[in-house]
Amino acid sequence: MSEHNTFSVIQFQIMWDRLISVVEEQAQALIRTGFSTSTREAGDVSAGVFNTKGEMLAQAVTGTPGHVNSMARAVVHFLHDFPVETMKPGDSFITNDPWKGTGHLHDFTVVTPTFFGGQVVGLFACTCHVVDVGGRGMGPDARQVYEEGIHVPLMYLAREGTVDATLTALIRTNVREPVQVVGDIYSLAACNDIGGNRLIEMMEEFGIDTLDVLGEHILEKTKVAMLEAIAAVEPGTYSNTMRVDGYDRPIDLVATLTIADDHIVVDFDGTSPPSSFGINVPFCYTEAYTSFGVKCIVAPKVPNNAASLAPIIIRTPENCILNAKHPLPVATRHITGQLLPDVTFGCLAQARTKTGENLPVPAEGTSCLWNLFAMGGPGRVEASPETLAKAKTFTVMSFHSGGAGARPGKDGLSATAFPSGVRNVPVEITEAGSPIIFLRKEYRVDSGGAGFYRGGLGQVMEVNTLDEAPFAISANYDRVEFPPRGRDGGLDGAAGILSVSSGKKMRGKGQQTVPYGDRLLIEMPGGGGIGHPFLRPVEKVQDDVAEGRVSLAAARRDYGVVLDEAFAINHEQTALLRQAMIEKAGVADTANEGA
């Protein structure tokens, strides 16, 4: 077989599509063999194939932007320490370095070379979030990364097919859930092997002996498409500021976005300095979610690879929470980092296409995940020794989400993880693996910001334990003090609330004990609305009330729609109330308002 340049455009496209299917099978293999709920249930993973220069050629559809886009940089670090010419069949490499991987110690990245004809033809990389890495656990309470768990530098996971038993023994000894964690690491290695095998089958089928020509085609076509997408937007500079909860004090996320003819720069000068707690964000994670935010609006249909990421340039000051340096704590970097697309959207909402159209920018959403990270047993909860003797030792992470912001032309998605894209974990899975029990899990009425397009609803979860003992949670939440903001006249979504059944409010961040006899109540934020709510079609408001998304009181207060107990519309009162709202706001009475 010999490499040649005689492929037609159609043949190139077929091979490109095939390569995407290869990495999708790689990701699905990781999910199907994964041990922890974050991998097998939530899909908090990423998978991709890279050329021998470390450039990402294709990513799996399954995966999260924080993993995929930061993993795109991670492979370069691996190649720096382990050049391609030193690799041998059966080698694989691993790290959970927050600054060279995906931002915190809970994410392990494994890279594996694929050999064909005696030469390395590509590299498969994958990442997943493991349930525990020792230390304080998954929470923001640490003051240095050393407290946050075991740190595995860039190193061999296996040499010529033999796994490093010393490494796996060290990991088992330092984590609370050794079977799940080590099991996930083996799943990472296995899915890379599957990707490699499928790549070899593909290359044999198409008669190619390297990925060089196909890779050049992929990157060149992507580059052209990305530059065309950027060129369609009017050049300009736009700024946005978002204030968020922080840990012990609010944080300001400040962005200035500049659109040029062939690139986009996002500069976070003015953003708050690092925190003393683990909500800091390494640059790799800042870059990942900021790039994702830009691409969602400017070039959503352009494939995600090295060429589409290259024109998006991210800058941060040295002393900035979005450019955290070692050894700052970073365990819950996602709390801050997952808000960055919303910050970017606020800039892009001010931009226009060269034909004068608004860019399709949604309102702010919950954005950061509202996962239940619960634990029990000695050293994990505040209780007497007699009480702790009855407590089962467990650690469990269950992924859950608030509401997403309203979209141009559509309501926001309810209880949906954006921008992370992970799935909500079924409560039965959590209950099967721990004494935790869910008494209630439902949409949170009136949590979606009112608007011509309504924000997505958050959800309410009521949680207890079957143990005759307290249990602890690590709260890793935001949007408690500063809810998601509406856009263009739309109202803000509801702020999140964390409390116990006795009435005491809990902090939005940090490890806390739920006393025995109390139930934990988690009320997740809703997304912001778009457009003036009193111009929303009356029938849509009626449907929302009938289906339990909006209360009778909120329909009247926010939308100017008067309904009786049977949800019938009082047209006369509604017309008078809406007209008063329109006059007060000084907007035009048009069905297209907010569209």
- DSSP bridge partners of 373: 397
Q: Which residues contact 501 (CB under 8 A, 6 or more apart)?
A: 462, 518, 519, 520, 521
Strand order in the sheet with 509-514: 394-398, 372-376, 471-476, 509-514
Of 2-6, 64-68, 463-467, which has the strongest mean pLDDT? 463-467
Residue 385 has a pLDDT of 77
Tell me the pLDDT tens digit for each residue of 265-292.
Answer: 999 999 999 999 999 999 999 999 999 9
Rounded Cα distance, 269 and 239, in Å = 11
98-111: pLDDT as tens digits = 999 999 999 999 99
Task: Inform me whether the pLDDT recorded for 4 exceeds 80.
Answer: no
Report the candidate in 583, 538, 580, 586 with the shortest Cα–Cα distance to residue 563. Answer: 538
Residues 490, 411: Cα–Cα separation, whole Å? 11
CA distance linking residue 21 with residue 33, whole number of Å: 18
pLDDT at 1 over 60: no
Residue carrying the six token digits 């709390």 = 335
Whole-number pLDDT of residue 296:
96
- The band of 5, judged by pLDDT with boundaries at 50, 70 and 90, is low
- Inter-residue long-range contacts of 571-574, CB under 8 Å, 24+ positions, other chains counted: 574/538
- Residue 548: CB atoms within 10 Å: 11
Residue 333 pLDDT > 70, yes or no? yes
- 297 neighbors 359 (Cβ within 8 angstroms): yes
Q: What pLDDT does residue 586 have?
A: 87
% of the chain exceeding 70 in pLDDT: 98
Question: Residue 3: pLDDT above 70?
Answer: no
Between the CA of residue 111 and those of 88, 226, 383, 420, 472, what are the distances in Å? 13, 27, 44, 22, 35
Model confidence at 384, in pLDDT bands (50, 70, 90)? confident
pLDDT score of 589: 60
Q: Is the pLDDT of residue 383 over 80?
A: no
CA torsion sign, 62 to 63 to 69 to 72? negative
Please provide residue 486's backbone torsions phi and psi, each rounded to the nearest 5 degrees.
-80, 175
Tracing tokens 């949906």 back to the chain, one arrives at: 416
Among the listed residues 322, 338, 376, 367, the one whose alpha carbon sits nearest the alpha carbon of residue 511? 376
- Whether 595 has a pLDDT exceeding 60, the answer reads no
With CA atoms as reference, report the closest residue to 375 among 389, 388, 392: 392
CA gap 272, 209 in Å, rounded? 50
Look at residue 388 in the predicted model and tell me its pLDDT: 75
- Region 452-475: mean pLDDT is 95
Q: What is the mean pLDDT of residues 40-64?
A: 93
Indicate the pLDDT class of residue 6, thresholds 50, 70 and 90: confident
pLDDT digits (tens, 9 = 90+) for 134-149: 999 889 999 999 999 9
Q: Which residue do the tokens 């020794």 mark?
A: 385
Residues pairing with 269 in the sheet: none
Q: Average the pLDDT over 175-184 and give the result.
A: 95
Mean pLDDT of 369-393: 82
> Is pLDDT at 66 greater than 50 in this prediction?
yes
Where would I find the beta strands (DSSP E) of 301-445? Answer: 312-315, 372-376, 394-398, 436-443
Q: Quick one: which H or E segment has residue 93?
A: strand 92-95
Q: CA–CA separation, 237 vs 259, rounded Å?
A: 6
| Token pair belonging to 477 | 């939440």
pLDDT band per the 50, 70, 90 thresholds, residue 160: very high
Does the predicted model carry a pTM greater than 0.75? yes
**591: confidence class by pLDDT, cuts 50, 70, 90:** very low
Which residues lie closer than 8 Å to 351 by C-beta, 6 or more apart? 233, 234, 236, 238, 257, 259, 359
Per-residue pLDDT tens for 210-267?
Answer: 999 999 999 999 999 999 999 999 999 999 999 999 999 999 999 999 999 999 999 9
3-state secondary structure 20-78: HHHHHHHHHHHHHHCCCHHHHCCCCEEEEEECCCCCEEEECCCCCHHHHHHHHHHHHHH
Residue 372 half-sphere exposure toward CB, CA atoms < 13 A: 33
Alpha-carbon Rg for the chain in angstroms: 25
Q: Which segments within 260-333 are labelled E, that is strand?
A: 264-267, 312-315
Q: Residue 420: beta bridge partners?
A: none
**Share of residues in the chain with pLDDT > 90 (%):** 89
Residue 15: pLDDT over 90: yes
pLDDT at 2 > cutoff 90: no
What was the pLDDT predicted at 590? 53
Residues 506, 490: contact at Cβ < 8 Å?
no
